[in-house]
Structure 1
Amino acid sequence: MDRYYPGRHGAGAGAATYDAGLRRYMLRIYNYMAAGLTISGAVAFAVASTPALAEAIFGTPLKWVAIFAPLGFVFFLSVRMERMSAVSLRTAFYGFAAVMGVSLAALFLTFTGQSIAMAFFAAGAMFLGMSLWGYTTSADLTRFSSFLMMGLIGVVLASIANLFLASTILQLVVAIVGVLVFTGLTAWDTQRAKSDYVQFAGTPQAEKLAIWSALSLYLNLINLIQLMLTFLGQRRD
């Protein structure tokens, strides 16, 4: 079912204004996302390149803090978002990206740089393709939201369980299902961002929703990269 977007089906000037505003809004989301990825990458590389720091975190029980802190951070932001200002939410997002960077340092310590690059480009291609489809499709993707959220919960719980089970088979199943879930979420989150623009353009809430959309898309890409390492990752000697 086609959604109705104000101005899109009206006069040419109205449609042009709508399209220009939407492009600016989506560009702001992707800019926030790119900034978060840059922060995470820089922190991950810095931690992995500092043997003493890496050993202090991943060679001690602190590794569990590094693993679970991002999940706790996301839960905190989801609860507090409505009561936070846009500036506070943006600062918290960048803080989360730094915390995620510490967690991601484990990838640099485990896998070769070449395999990480391959996983990044493979995940990036899937992300871009699904985000573009979510932006352009007229199909209402909210009908898949329940399935995607159930899949997300299942992937998270199975991933946590496999930290202790270390099952190769379960890891492969999680990777296959996870790729399907996060590519679907990428399309859905992109379309949801468009819907947010329609409803809240010009209001203070729009900026907060842009940051939240950036966080959602950031998480989709980060998870896709980690899942692709299951297929493409080559471990260091």
Structure 2
Amino acid sequence: MADYETIHAGRVGTRGLAIDEGLRAHMNKVYGLMSVAMLITAGAAWAISGLAISHEPTAYQIGADTYLTNLGYSLYASPLKWVIMFLPLVMVFAFGAMINRLSAAGAQLFFYVFAAAMGLSISWIFMVFTGMSIIQTFLVTAIAFAGLSLWGYTTKRDISGWGSFLIMGVIGLIVASIINIFLASAAVMFAISAIGVLIFAGLTAYDTQNIKNTYIAHAQHGDTEWLGKAAIMGALNLYLDFINMFMFLLQLFGNRE
């Protein structure tokens, strides 16, 4: 009996060690995918803004020495701006509907295309906010994100109950933001930004714990295709948490041109 218990304990310990190592590799892949997507978004936003904004006089003056190029006018002032604005939202819903039919490689490619579309959608920040303000806000967001994600990964507290309330909050933010496009109220925008920071801070911790728990629950099945797509979905969720927290903090504290 003692030998059986020793062998059983050894097998359990070995399996637990394998899951721990697999979890670390899974989380590293999630953060790696997210980091690549962030670089794509930053590169796309910077490159597009450079083509859209000029300090040489054009027909479209937007500041004392700032002008829109023809491309800039098309992106930010023509009806095309509505397509660019809502394109990432449409792609997120499409990704969720298609994920089960996509291969892991196809899902990863879609994620990176989405990251480029997000860069296009937020490229206007270089026209509105100072470069130093954007950098400072990014660093603050990165520090806050790292702390929140680490807490979500290490905490023993079950925060799965936060999910439904946070998702309801996101839906409310989307609706309020669309309404405020037409109201153009600074007070409403301030309230949306403040609440948005809190919601996506909570989602950062929640999504991190959910990625961890989901992996542990399914690791024993060894479904590498599913685990690959799960890492991409996890990276997408954390990417959205970071981007939204950054944008709301920029609205609250960014220095405008």
Q: TM-score, normalised by structure 2?
A: 0.85
Which position in structure 1 is the counterpart of 2:97? Answer: 79
Asked if 1:101 corresponds to 2:119, the answer is yes
Distance 2:35 2:72 in 1: 25
Which position in structure 2 is the counterpart of 1:62? Answer: 80
Distance 1:160 1:152 in 2: 12
Which position in structure 1 is the counterpart of 2:226? Answer: 205
Paired residues of 1:175 and 1:228 also in contact (CA < 8 A): yes
Distance 2:242 2:114 in 1: 15
1:138 Cα offset (Å) = 1.1
**C-alpha deviations, 1:33-55, integer Å up to 9, x for none?**
00101111111001100133323
1:157 Cα offset (Å) = 1.0
1:12 Cα offset (Å) = 4.9
Gaps of 5+ in 1: 1-9
Which position in structure 2 is the counterpart of 1:114? Answer: 132
**C-alpha deviations, 1:81-127, integer Å up to 9, x for none?**
11211111111100100100101101111111111111111111111
Paired residues of 2:194 and 2:252 also in contact (CA < 8 A): no
Q: 1:186 aligns with which of 204, 210, 215?
A: 204
Q: How does 1:1-237 map to 2 (within 5 A)?
A: 12-51=13-52, 52=69, 53-201=71-219, 202-203=222-223, 204-236=225-257
SS of 2:100 mapped into structure 1: helix
Paired residues of 2:152 and 2:204 also in contact (CA < 8 A): yes
Aligned residue-pair number: 227
Distance 2:155 2:229 in 1: 25
1:13 Cα offset (Å) = 4.1
Distance 1:210 1:218 in 2: 12
Distance 1:164 1:127 in 2: 31
1:15 Cα offset (Å) = 3.6
SS of 2:144 mapped into structure 1: helix
Q: For residue 46 of structure 1, what is the amino acid of its counterpart?
A: A
Which position in structure 2 is the counterpart of 1:4? Answer: none
Q: For residue 228 of structure 1, what is the amino acid of its counterpart?
A: L
Distance 2:157 2:101 in 1: 33
Distance 1:78 1:26 in 2: 20
SS of 1:141 mapped into structure 2: coil
1:200 Cα offset (Å) = 2.8
Which deviates the most, 195-204 or 223-232? 195-204
Identity %: 41
SS of 1:83 mapped into structure 2: coil
Paired residues of 1:48 and 1:109 also in contact (CA < 8 A): yes
Q: Give the greater-gyration-radius structure (CA).
A: 2
Distance 1:68 1:119 in 2: 24
Which deviates the most, 83-92 or 214-223? 83-92
Moved over 6 A (4+): none
Q: TM-score, normalised by structure 1?
A: 0.92
1:197 Cα offset (Å) = 1.1
Paired residues of 1:196 and 1:206 also in contact (CA < 8 A): no
Gaps of 5+ in 2: 1-10, 53-68
Distance 1:26 1:187 in 2: 14
Which deviates the most, 51-60 or 225-234? 51-60
